[in-house]
Amino acid sequence: MNDSLATTVADTLSEAAQAANVLATEGLSKSQYDEALQILVREGTEMAINFAVKIVIAILVFTIGKWVIGKINKGIAKLLEKKDVEPSLASFVKSLTKVVLMFILIIAIIGILGLETSSFVALFASAGVAIGMALSGTLQNFAGGVMILIFKPFKIGDFIEAQGQTGVVKEIQIFNTIISTADNKTIIVPNGGLSTGITTNYSKQPMRRVDFTFGIAYGESYDNAKNVIMDLINANPKILKDPAPFIGLVNLGDSSVDLTVRVWCESADYWDVYFNMNEKVYKTFTEKGINIPFPQMDVHITK
* Domain locations along the chain: 5-129, 155-201, 207-288
| pLDDT higher than 50, residue 206 | yes
Pairwise CA distance, residues 106 & 98, whole Å:
12
Quote the pLDDT of residue 125: 66
What span, in angstroms and rounded, lies between the C-alpha atoms of 235 and 281? Answer: 12
In this structure, are residues 289 and 219 in contact, taking their beta carbons and an 8 Å threshold? no
Checking phi first, is residue 230 left (phi over 0); if not, alpha (psi -120 to 50) or beta?
Answer: alpha
Over the Cα atoms of the chain, what is R_g?
39
- At the second CATH level, the architecture of 155-201 is Roll (2.30)
Instruction: For residue 19, name the pLDDT band (cuts at 50, 70, 90).
Output: low
| Coil, helix or strand at residue 188 | strand
Residue 88: count of CB within 10 angstroms of its CB: 20
Task: Specify the pLDDT at position 48.
Answer: 78
Measured CA angle at 259 (ends 261, 253), to 5 deg:
145
- Rounded to an integer, what is the distance from CA 243 to the centroid of its chain? 37
Q: How many CB atoms lie within 10 A of CB 265?
A: 21
- Better-scored residue on pLDDT, 6 or 31: 31
- Distance, in Å, from the CA atom of 140 to the CA atom of 190, rounded to the nearest integer, reads 9
pLDDT digits (tens, 9 = 90+) for 236-278: 999 999 999 999 999 998 889 999 999 999 998 999 999 999 9
Fold of 5-129: Helix Hairpins (1.10.287)
* E-strand stretches of the chain: 159-162, 165-172, 176-180, 186-190, 199-201, 207-216, 246-252, 257-266
pLDDT tens string 80-130: 778 777 666 676 677 778 878 888 888 888 777 776 656 666 666 666 666
- Whether 63 shows a pLDDT value over 50: the answer reads yes
What pLDDT is attached to residue 166?
A: 93
176-180 and 207-216 strand pairing = unpaired
Report percent pLDDT > 70 for the chain: 78
E strand map for 14-76: none
H/E run at residue 287 = helix 270-288
Per-residue confidence (pLDDT) for residue 1, from 0 to 100: 43
Question: How long is the chain?
Answer: 303
pLDDT at 69 over 90: no
Q: What string of H, E and C letters represents the secondary structure of 92-155?
A: HHHHHHHHHHHHHHHHHHHHHCCCCHHHHHHHHHHHHHHHHHHCHHHHHHHHHHHHHHHHCCCC
**β-bridge mates for residue 187, sequence order:** 179
pLDDT at residue 271 in the model: 92
Q: Of the candidates 189, 215, 209, which has an alpha carbon nearest to the alpha carbon of residue 296?
A: 215
CATH topology of domain 207-288: Alpha-Beta Plaits (3.30.70)
133 CB-near residues (< 8 Å, 6+ apart): none
